[in-house]
Structure 1
Amino acid sequence: MDKRRRIALLVTTLALTPVAFGGCTERGSRPAGQAAARSAPPTLALTPAAGTRDVPISAEIGTEVKNGRVAEVKVRDDKGRAVDGTMREDGTAWVPAKPLENKRSYRADVTVKNDSGQTATQNTTFTTMAKSDRQTITSTLYFAGNRTYGTAMPVTVAFDPGIPKEARADVQRRLFVKTEPKQPGTWSWLDDGTQAYYRAPDFWRPGSTISVRAALEGLPIGKDRLGDADRTASSRIGNQVSLDIDNATKQMSVFRDGRLVRRIPVSLGKPSTPSSSGKMVIMEKHEFTTFDTRGEPDGGYVVDVEDAQRLTWGGEFIHAAPWSEGDQGNTNVSHGCANVSSVNADWLMGVTQVGDLVTVRGTEVPLTPGNGWTAWNVSWEEFARGSAPPVPANLKPAPTPSAAPSAPAAVAPPTGRTPAPASSGSGG
């Protein structure tokens, strides 16, 4: 081979050899450390630890996995019966579909797998506690099944007595909400721990399905109490409906799917018994009810009312008030309710849903937190601060307007909670 031939071959070889510049690597290559991690066998640690006794019936199978992910969980009781359940979204634990039974042994077999297909299996056995005589904390889930709710419907759980601060994170981890389509949200607590609300940054999308489980039965809460029950419900979100009540004009504007469909004259609370200003949610609807205010500071009357829709625990309703039709649109004469004509009240009953947003503005007093389902009466940032565990920073309202029409900025109300009245309610 002559000299020119050798030079040509050398140039060709150099042209076909990849060259690395700076910190770049050849496409398709894998750092040595990453490759080693992927080929490392998976490992797994489980809780409760093997042989643990007196385990609460709210127990989950904790899974601490390295170099892999959970592929299968099998749990059986001491009679060989399979226990249904699902993994948490973050992969930290397997949650039984219902509370375990008292004073019974369980075995969990968990298999993990890595990206290379390697598997590892661990098992643990444990025994649940005997039925306890400790006091329970009563919980109430204000979200029924097989209903159609408005786009502002918060999932609400009430507690009696309230949950102490140090126990709220554990309780919150047992409050599950799933939405279809997916719309992530968070829980937020009232200061006294008597209520927790769940909502997303924006209003629910019409047609969504929301499934809730308050899995609190047997859950240790604080030093000496247990959760009382395991409750589930699944319901649908209907069309967007919202009401905007302006004290300055004494008018209610009714929006459906973002479009103004009617304006209704109203009479709100007189100066001695003013209506609350803020963002509320319709809580109940009654074709007929009785307001009995005997024993209340500003009450003392009993009156039958038609087409009543509750806004607060303190007894503020939208309802038919034929006795004040001459004042509606002009003068406030009620005991705090929004009075409308019989015709308009009947029409509203056919339009609204429990869970619809009602905004009242321009009255003498702000809405008190917890006086009704007040999850929307604060900004998203303030709402998220009420969560016991931290809320992801990327969970925030969409930059575009949500399904419900925009309303005035949320009122910054004082702290506290108005207790729920008897089911008959007050009003006027």
Structure 2
Amino acid sequence: MGALRRFGLAAATAVVLVPLTSCDTGDPAGFKQNAAPQPAPPAQTLELTPAAEQKDLPVSTEIGITVANASVRSVALADAKGRLLSGQMRPDNSAWIPDKPLDYKGRYSVTVTATDGRRAITKSTSFTTMAEPQRQVGTGMYLFDDHTYGVAMPVVVEFSEQIPEKSRAQVESRLFVTTTPAQPGVWHWMSGRQVTYRAPEYWKPGTVLSVRAALKGLPMGEGRYGDDDRKATAKIAGEKLELVVKNSNKHIDVFRNGKKVRSMPVSLGKASTPSSSGTMVIMDKQESTIFDTTGEPGDQYRVQIQYAQRLTWGGEFIHSAPWSVGDQGNRNVSHGCLNVSPSNAVWLFQNTHVGDPVTVKGTGVKLERGNGFTAWDLSWKEFVKGSALPVPQELLEPVPAVAPSPSVSATPSVAVPSPTDSIN
């Protein structure tokens, strides 16, 4: 019986092995499976602007790119001599921007390749640029290469003529700011002749600001074009210095990184010529300058002033005023400036930067919008409303206005106008 059982087991095993051996040599009926058909990959599309052989285009022309089911791998823009131009994609990948403006009356060809990682698609186009326009708008930027500024220094671009509202979005789209470390910001049109950029809060100490106003040849409305392409790379100081001026006690408190390090008496504007209340920014510093009011209404004189730091275009400065030392800390006698003693004026001059914030409180007269670098006198909620372009949702959330801490523990630029302040 045992032998039969062993035989039966062996026979059963043999029966099972036969079809397994057959599977190694073919697909017997009952074992073959039909593979599911693979869907065709989605079609790739790539469209470029300008369209082929367009003529008389601005030298600010960008290469517009519309791509589907692929990503841009390369952009090759060449001039008539075959020289390749460098450039960068916009953050939203909608266009490729040359690093420099194109030449007037130049011919260019461009080839763009996009890929999904398996397949590639390539398109080409060509175009020519216009002759140099006769009507050009002067541009300037209040930022100098290799300079160090205070934490409240805005990026300010000015124009010699009014930019119509309908043209401001296009102008704003050609203003680029890169910060290291990253601190996203927004542009705000103070007027048709000035646009200002800042972040929700003061720049972090040590930030590097790289700015390009890519405006050469850019249409600016009414048949006018931008005059130049301007760049600057500057640094923010390694400390946050803030000045707080209170009319109530007639003192200037100086905060360094949130800690009060000095307090000094001051005399502000008298009742007939009050100082402005609001957050200003030191715009310019002159160790010695001339205040000249001849030909202006009111007091007229021409006098030399020491250690002057400009706060407004209207002529408000912090400066040395030895003639009012007895009034400083007690009464206001100036024409709007902040009078300090010679020794305090020297200390401030040696410790402050262009771009440091100065907040004046309690004078009863509000700082006029655009009278100096007034970006920080607006709340963030107000500031973002001044952009001509849509503001990203993540930047729309209101941020508390930046206030000084209560703690007690490349490039050509528009020249700063000569001081025309009354003696203060």
Aligned residue for 1:381, secondary structure, equals helix
Q: Does 1:202 align with 2:201?
A: yes
User: 1:23: which partner in 2?
Assistant: none
Q: Does the 8 Å CA contact 1:257/1:403 hold for their aligned counterparts? A: no
Q: Which residue in 2 is equivalent to 1:246? A: 246
| Match runs of 1:19-418 below 5 Å | 39-114=41-116, 116-133=117-134, 135-190=135-190, 192-238=191-237, 239-395=239-395, 405=405
CA-CA distance at 1:298 after TM superposition: 3.0
Distance 1:280 1:200, change over 3 A: same
**Corresponding residue number in structure 2 for 1:423:** 418
Given the superposition, is the C-alpha separation of residues 398 and 352 from structure 1 closer, same or farther in structure 2, using an over 3 Å criterion?
farther
Mapped to 2, the partners of 1:171 and 1:347 lie a distance apart of 41
Measured in 2, the distance between the counterparts of 1:391 and 1:83 equals 31
CA offsets, 1:284-309, max 9 Å, x none? Answer: 01111110011222341111111110
Tell me by how many angstroms 1:66 deviates: 1.2
SS at match of 1:286: strand
What amino acid is the match of 2:210?
A: S
Alpha carbons 1:203, 1:404 under 8 Å: kept: no
Of structures 1 and 2, the larger Rg is shown by: 2
What amino acid does structure 1 have at the position aligned with 2:211?
V
From the superposition, tell whether residues 299 and 50 of structure 1 become closer, same or farther in structure 2 (CA, over 3 Å).
farther
User: Counterparts of 2:103 and 2:382 in 1: how far apart (Å)?
Assistant: 40
User: Aligned equivalents of 2:233 and 2:121: distance in 1?
Assistant: 37
Query: Hey, which bits of structure 1, 4+ residues long, moved more than 6 A?
Result: 397-403
C-alpha separation between the residues in 2 aligned to 1:179 and 1:75?
A: 27
Instruction: Measure the CA separation in 1 of the matches of 2:398 and 2:258.
Output: 17
1: CA distance, partners of 2:94 / 2:388: 18
CA distance, structure 2, for counterparts of residue 257 and residue 403 of structure 1: 13
Distance across 1 between alignment mates of 2:118 and 2:345: 65
CA contact (8 A) 1:279 1:374 kept: yes
Check whether the contact 1:202–1:398 (CA below 8 A) recurs between aligned residues: no
SS of 1:95's partner is: strand
CA deviation after TM superposition for structure 1 residue 425, in Å: 3.3
Q: Is the 8 A contact 2:156 2:194 kept in 1?
A: yes
Partner Cα separation in structure 2 for residue 154 and residue 36 of structure 1: 54
- State the partner residue of 2:16: none
Q: What is the one-letter code of the residue matched to 1:55?
A: L
Structure 2 counterpart of 1:122, which letter?
Answer: K
- Residue 52 of structure 1: how far off its partner (Å): 0.3
- In 1: Cα distance, 2:391 partner to 2:89 partner: 20
Q: CA deviation at 1:405?
A: 2.5
Q: Distance in 2 between matches of 1:425 and 1:143?
A: 22
Deviation digits for residues 17-65 of structure 1, max 9, x if unmatched? xxxxxxxxxxxxxxxxxx979x424321111111100010011111111
Shift, 1:130, TM fit: 1.3
1:129–1:204 Cα change, 3 Å: same
Tell me the TM-score normalized by structure 1.
0.85
1:334 Cα shift? 0.5
Question: CA separation of 1:260/1:352 partners in 2, compared to 1, >3 Å: closer, same or farther?
Answer: same
DSSP-derived class of the 1:376 partner: helix
Letter in 1 for 2:159: F
Q: Give the AA of the match of 1:199.
A: R
Q: CA deviation at 1:424?
A: 3.4
Amino acid at match of 2:98: P
Shift of 1:342: 0.4
Quote how far apart the aligned CAs of 1:267 are.
0.3
User: Which residue identity lines up with residue 354 of structure 2 in the other structure?
Assistant: V
Paired letter, 1:185? G
**Which secondary structure does the structure 2 equivalent of 1:156 belong to?**
strand
Residue 226 of structure 2 aligns with an amino acid whose one-letter code is: G
Matching residue of 2:32: none
Tell me how far apart the structure 2 counterparts of residues 143 and 36 of structure 1 sit (CA, whole Å). Answer: 56
Any conservation in 2 of the 1:242–1:358 contact (CA below 8 Å)? yes
Q: Secondary structure at the match of 1:350?
A: helix
- Asked if the contact 1:257/1:404 (under 8 Å) is kept, the reply is no
Structure 1 residue 224 displacement after superposition = 1.2
Change (3 A) 1:45 1:367: same
Conservation of the 8 A alpha-carbon contact between 1:86 and 1:96: yes
Secondary structure of 1:111 counterpart: strand
Look up the match of 2:31.
Answer: none
Q: CA deviation at 1:189?
A: 0.3
What letter matches 2:128 in structure 1?
T
SS at match of 1:157: strand
Distance 1:275 1:315, change over 3 A: same
CA distance in 1 between counterparts of 2:317 and 2:201 reads 25
Shift of 1:118: 2.3
3-state SS of paired residue (2:377)? coil
Q: Matched residues in 2 for 1:237 and 1:121: separation? A: 43
Residues 404/359 of structure 1: CA separation in 2 closer, same or farther (3 Å cut): closer
Amino acid in structure 1 at the alignment position of 2:118:
G
Per the alignment, in what secondary structure is the counterpart of residue 394 of structure 1?
A: helix
Kindly indicate whether the alpha-carbon contact (under 8 Å) linking 1:313 and 1:421 is maintained by their aligned counterparts in 2.
no
Matched residues in 2 for 1:235 and 1:225: separation?
A: 30
Shift of 1:399: 7.0
Runs of 5+ consecutive residues of structure 2 not aligned to the other structure: 1-37, 408-414
Q: CA deviation at 1:68?
A: 2.1
Letter in 2 for 1:381: K
- CA distance in 2 between partners of 1:36 and 1:234 (Å): 51
How far, CA to CA, are the matches of 1:354 and 1:319 in structure 2?
A: 14
Structure-2 change in CA distance of 1:234 and 1:294 (3 Å): same
Q: Could you tell me whether the CA contact under 8 Å between 1:273 and 1:298 is conserved in 2? A: no
